[in-house]
């Protein structure tokens, strides 16, 4: 195989492909990037058996062929080469010569035949949306998936297409995050659970531009993202997702509007008195037109008052400050609306259009104190 590509095209391809290289694996071939130039296009392929990536790299093929190169070394070499044309050439013994200007690297390769190709999937049911939207929807929900693997379902996000809307849901047992948006066309109803890891990686590859599109294909066991010159294929999480509808209620006793930035800064200040792992709640006392936040820990105490606009009853309620911070950080609105029922019922932060809903369970602070 002999190919010539610009350093910048190689860099782009490598950076995308790296996202599906496993950090630990019992199959050393998967630590490689497969360079496939057997047809008329140069493709970089990686696969960690759950997530697979295939991306086209612009360049010239002088001699068709393929080679698998250690992803880490190959990416380091590309990154440090001068900004010029790079030639990648292999010999019969799979030795690979990478040259750029006067620099010559010689590294051993592995046979491309040994590589685990991505499964072919049927491109049947699909939806198309802007890369910006998908990236935002992931960012605004991914923080509330569960970190530990005790409940596999909680490590993924529900993608639900229904009545012409895409709804993304994540939950970890203490909170729920929901983002919803209208689709441009009518699609068939569908429910799948996508691994959180896949969504994290795809977020890093998506351009995030409003004008760039991404098409998502669904099969029974896989999801395929197609955009720019890249395909990202992931297994789905099997099982039935939690029925969240019964947890969402629109009844409330207290409704308040508050400046988001002010609320966030205040909680942020309060939490500096809480050591990591220490489960100190932040106590919120809502009376008339003000909200007083209080925190009390071994390091000291803090309180601060914020102006609000309130409807309904006064309430005293405690929260894990991290859950509030996580939700507030991803909301773009300047002013947010919070709905409360009583000190033991979940609070809701949601907008009128129903484009986002964050449910957070309160903390029983009389005990925690």
Binding residues for a copy of itself, per CB under 8 A? 70, 73, 76-77, 80-82, 102-108, 265-266, 268-269, 272-273, 299-306
Q: Which of 365, 270, 363 lies closest to 325 in space, CA to CA?
A: 270
Q: What is the Cα 363 distance to its own chain's centre?
A: 27
Nearer to a copy of itself, 103 or 248 (CB): 103
Nearer to a copy of itself, 15 or 265 (CB): 265
Report in angstroms how near the CB of residue 109 gets to a copy of itself at its nearest: 10
Nearer to a copy of itself, 50 or 304 (CB): 304
Q: Could you tell me the two tokens for 265?
A: 């800064």
DSSP 51-110: EEEEEEE--EEEE-EEEEEEHHHHHHHHHHS-SSEEEEEE-TT-EEEEEETTEEEEEE-B
Report in angstroms how near the CB of residue 93 gets to a copy of itself at its nearest: 13
Rounded CA gap, 259 and 339, in Å? 15
Rounded CA gap, 276 and 363, in Å? 17
Rounded CA gap, 142 and 326, in Å? 10
Nearer to a copy of itself, 82 or 239 (CB): 82
Nearer to a copy of itself, 264 or 349 (CB): 264
Nearer to a copy of itself, 172 or 268 (CB): 268
Q: Could you tell me the two tokens for 268?
A: 């942020």
Nearer to a copy of itself, 272 or 368 (CB): 272
Report in angstroms how near the CB of residue 130 gets to a copy of itself at its nearest: 36
Report in angstroms how near the CB of residue 127 gets to a copy of itself at its nearest: 42
Rounded CA gap, 295 and 303, in Å? 6
Residues in the chain: 369
Report in angstroms how near the CB of residue 301 gets to a copy of itself at its nearest: 5
Q: Which residues of 128-140 are buried (b: 16+ CB within 10 A; e: fewer)?
A: ebbbbbbbbbbbb
Report in angstroms how near the CB of residue 86 gets to a copy of itself at its nearest: 12
Report in angstroms how near the CB of residue 103 gets to a copy of itself at its nearest: 4
Calculated CA dihedral for residues 327, 331, 333, 334, nearest 10 degrees: 60
């Amino acid at each position: 195989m002999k190919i010539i590509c610009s350093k910048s095209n190689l860099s782009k391809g490598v950076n995308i492909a790296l996202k599906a290289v496993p950090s630990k694996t019992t199959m050393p071939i998967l630590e490689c990037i497969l360079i496939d130039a057997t047809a008329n296009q140069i493709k970089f392929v990686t696969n960690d058996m759950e997530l697979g990536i295939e991306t086209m790299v612009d360049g010239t093929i002088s001699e068709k062929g393929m080679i698998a190169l250690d992803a880490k070394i190959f990416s380091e070499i590309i990154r440090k080469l001068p900004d010029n044309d790079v030639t990648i050439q292999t010999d019969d013994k799979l030795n690979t010569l990478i040259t750029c200007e006067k620099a010559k690297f010689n590294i051993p390769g592995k046979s491309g035949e040994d590589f685990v190709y991505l499964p072919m999937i049927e491109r049947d049911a699909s939806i198309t949306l802007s890369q910006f939207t998908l990236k935002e929807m992931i960012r605004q929900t991914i923080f509330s998936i569960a970190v530990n693997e005790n409940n596999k379902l909680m490590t993924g996000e529900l993608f639900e297409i229904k009545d012409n809307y895409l709804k993304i849901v994540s939950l970890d047992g203490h909170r729920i995050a929901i983002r919803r948006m209208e689709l441009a066309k009518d699609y068939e109803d569908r429910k799948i659970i996508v691994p959180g890891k896949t969504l994290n990686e795809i977020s890093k590859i998506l351009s995030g531009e409003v004008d760039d599109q991404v098409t998502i294909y669904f099969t029974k066991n896989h999801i395929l993202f197609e955009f720019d010159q890249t395909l990202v294929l992931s297994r789905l999480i099997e099982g039935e997702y939690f029925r969240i509808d019964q947890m969402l209620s629109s009844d409330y006793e207290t409704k308040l509007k508050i400046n988001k930035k002010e609320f966030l800064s205040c909680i942020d200040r309060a939490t500096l008195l809480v050591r990591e792992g220490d489960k100190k709640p932040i106590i919120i006392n809502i009376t008339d037109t003000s909200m007083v936040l209080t925190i009390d820990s071994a390091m000291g105490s803090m309180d601060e008052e914020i102006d609000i606009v309130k409807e309904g009853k006064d309430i005293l309620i405690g929260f894990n400050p991290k859950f509030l911070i996580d939700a507030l950080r991803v909301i773009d609105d300047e002013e947010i609306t919070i709905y409360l029922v009583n000190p033991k019922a979940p609070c809701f932060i949601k907008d009128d259009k129903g484009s986002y809903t964050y449910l957070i369970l309160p903390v029983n602070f009389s005990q925690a104190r």
